[in-house]
Amino acid sequence: MEIFLSIPFLIFMPLAVSLLVISPLFTRNEIVVRRFSKGVFTFHFLYSILMLAFFDKANPYVSEIHFFGLDWVQSLGIKFIFKIDAVSMVLTVLTSFVFLLASIASKFNIRENQKFYYAMLLLLMSAILGIFTAGDMFVFFLFWELELIPAYFLIGGNWNGGKWAGETGCDAKNSAVKFVLFTFLGSMVMLLGILLLYYYNYTLNGILSASFSDIIDSPIPVSIQNLIAVCLLIGFGVKLPIIPLHSWLPDAHTNAPTPVSMVLAGVLLKTGAYGIYRFNYETMPESFQTAAPYLAILALINIIYTAFAAYAQTDIKRIVAYSSISNMGLILLGMCAYNRIGLSASLFHMVAHGLVTCGLFMIAGIVYLRCKNRNINILSGIAAYMPRLFGFAVLIILASIGVPLFAPFISEILTIIGAMNSDLSEVLKFTAIFSLPLLILSSCYMLKFLHKSFFGEPAEAYEKINDITVHEFVVLGAVLAGLIIFGLYPNAILGML
């Protein structure tokens, strides 16, 4: 069976299908395009599950692509090499699952330009998978930049008819441009760090190589590591995002269609955390240990600031967007603990948060489709008209605030334990102590959203709205199932890590 498992197929199959879908030769029938694309996402998810079933963490998947028998840029030691270890395997399956949910959610959210939409969605999936599996720094950067193209069009595209605008009628194009500018400028600083890392590895070892495996053991002086680490953190901090590099995210979520918001929060933000893990944490551990106390303070600021910002919002999607930034601060705090518990908690929370945000953005999208409004000060009593949606909303919101039996509870507790047991600095213990009560803030803004939207006197304007459809039930049911399964059996992920 293992001969049928291929990393290049896993990564480039969505890219190949993307080119097929967007080509003039492919049908323009929107129903066929939607069903074909959904079938591709389903097949890809099943294929990733097959790779997971045969995965051996002692023997990671490794694959190298040659061009006419040569490396990609052989004279510079740059190889088109891919590697799937335990961390990459978990994030690969998460990516495939989130994109499958997004494709199902697209049925009622995407009305126009479906050929282009699904082509960009497949291209974005291929780029993200390339980031999570790259074994070479320049291959990583190639996919990091490739991801900008589909993300730009998906955030700012015209998917519902009318002018170039998102769900709220705001200027989605400006949000897309803001996302690209933030990411591109951060990428340029990150590229400088990669080039410095590549150069000093050659200077010290006399070997031209950009492979992670050749750089991990490179004895680069700590002072140089610190300079490189700052450059890399700026690039990854935009995508994570770390305050004050976060302002693109709420705007992008507000104007992007629901499936795109699910992808942005579910997996795209995780590329920033993965970059910190792969470059700073794993490749330059000495500099990361030096920076960990300062990063922990930034993580605490992320949790505090965005919690208050989320409470002040009235738009459901902006509430969820700010809550995502707060949760990414928790992921960063877990890594800063620099021990096995903290790292496992950080990676586990990537999965838990990915599932929660998919559910929350799906709920926000359903409310907007039915009520044509996402303002919690106007919404009232919709639980009376959408009892099934209300049931899912209660459970997913409880999961998001860390109630036991759900996956986020496990990762949040492990993060605090990891930080409390960190040997790096007393700052980590300080941030852990303050983070625990501050996590209660998440219950404030999420329960405020639940109370104002679903409870209260039912508004007459909403009395004719319909409850969730089969497609929406499948998405929310899959999210809830994942949250419960990993909450009851966390070793399904922790055992790999």
Over residues 115-135, mean pLDDT: 96
Res 387: pLDDT = 92
- Would residue 492 count as lying in a domain? yes
- Distance of alpha carbon 309 from alpha carbon 306, whole angstroms: 5
79-108, pLDDT tens digit by residue?
899 999 999 999 999 999 999 999 999 988
- Packing angle, helices 340-371 and 407-420, rounded to 10: 140
Q: What are phi and psi of 416, to 5 degrees?
A: -65, -45
| Contact indicator for 115, 26 with CB cutoff of 8 Å | yes
Map tokens 């551990």 to a residue: 285
| Contact indicator for 126, 12 with CB cutoff of 8 Å | yes
420-444, pLDDT tens digit by residue?
988 888 888 888 888 777 677 888 8
Give the type of residue at 441.
L
The tokens for 347 are: 């990676």
* Domain that includes residue 400, residue range: 293-497
Inform me whether the pLDDT recorded for 170 exceeds 70: no
- Packing angle, helices 86-109 and 470-488, rounded to 10: 160
Inform me whether the pLDDT recorded for 31 exceeds 50: yes
Count of C-beta atoms within a 10 Å radius of residue 23:
10
- Would residue 228 count as lying in a domain? no
Over residues 332-344, mean pLDDT: 93
| Contact indicator for 253, 317 with CB cutoff of 8 Å | yes
Give the type of residue at 422.
S
455-468, pLDDT tens digit by residue?
888 777 788 888 99
Inform me whether the pLDDT recorded for 67 exceeds 50: yes
Res 220: pLDDT = 84
- Distance of alpha carbon 64 from alpha carbon 76, whole angstroms: 16
What percent of the chain lies above the pLDDT cut of 70? 97
Map tokens 């030769």 to a residue: 25
Over residues 382-390, mean pLDDT: 92
- Distance of alpha carbon 487 from alpha carbon 467, whole angstroms: 28
- Would residue 84 count as lying in a domain? no
Count of C-beta atoms within a 10 Å radius of residue 53:
9
- Would residue 155 count as lying in a domain? no
Inform me whether the pLDDT recorded for 4 exceeds 90: no
- Packing angle, helices 470-488 and 340-371, rounded to 10: 160
Map tokens 């049928």 to a residue: 4
- Would residue 6 count as lying in a domain? no
Least confident of 38-52, 112-126, 455-469: 455-469
Res 164: pLDDT = 38
Overall number of domains in the chain: 1
Confidence of residue 360 (pLDDT cuts 50, 70, 90): very high
Map tokens 């459970």 to a residue: 395
The tokens for 432 are: 């852990």
Q: What are phi and psi of 64, to 5 degrees?
A: -130, 135
Inform me whether the pLDDT recorded for 313 exceeds 60: yes
Map tokens 């680069």 to a residue: 220
For the chain, the farthest-separated pair of C-alpha atoms sits apart, in whole angstroms, at: 74
- Would residue 182 count as lying in a domain? no
Confidence of residue 332 (pLDDT cuts 50, 70, 90): very high
219-266, pLDDT tens digit by residue?
888 888 899 999 999 999 999 999 888 889 988 988 899 999 999 999
- Distance of alpha carbon 146 from alpha carbon 476, whole angstroms: 30
- Judging by beta carbons within 10 Å of its beta carbon (0-12, 13-18, 19+), is residue 36 exposed, middle or buried? middle
Confidence of residue 3 (pLDDT cuts 50, 70, 90): low
| Contact indicator for 367, 108 with CB cutoff of 8 Å | no
DSSP state of 278: I
Inform me whether the pLDDT recorded for 281 exceeds 50: yes
The tokens for 313 are: 């919002």
Over residues 332-356, mean pLDDT: 94
Inform me whether the pLDDT recorded for 272 exceeds 90: yes
DSSP state of 264: I
Confidence of residue 166 (pLDDT cuts 50, 70, 90): very low
Res 163: pLDDT = 42
Map tokens 């803001």 to a residue: 178
Map tokens 């329960």 to a residue: 447
Res 169: pLDDT = 46
- Distance of alpha carbon 12 from alpha carbon 14, whole angstroms: 5
- Distance of alpha carbon 335 from alpha carbon 281, whole angstroms: 8
Would the pTM count as exceeding 0.75? yes
Average pLDDT across the chain, whole number = 89
Q: What are phi and psi of 67, to 5 degrees?
A: -115, 105
| Contact indicator for 336, 362 with CB cutoff of 8 Å | no
Res 25: pLDDT = 87
Res 438: pLDDT = 66
- Distance of alpha carbon 159 from alpha carbon 417, whole angstroms: 45
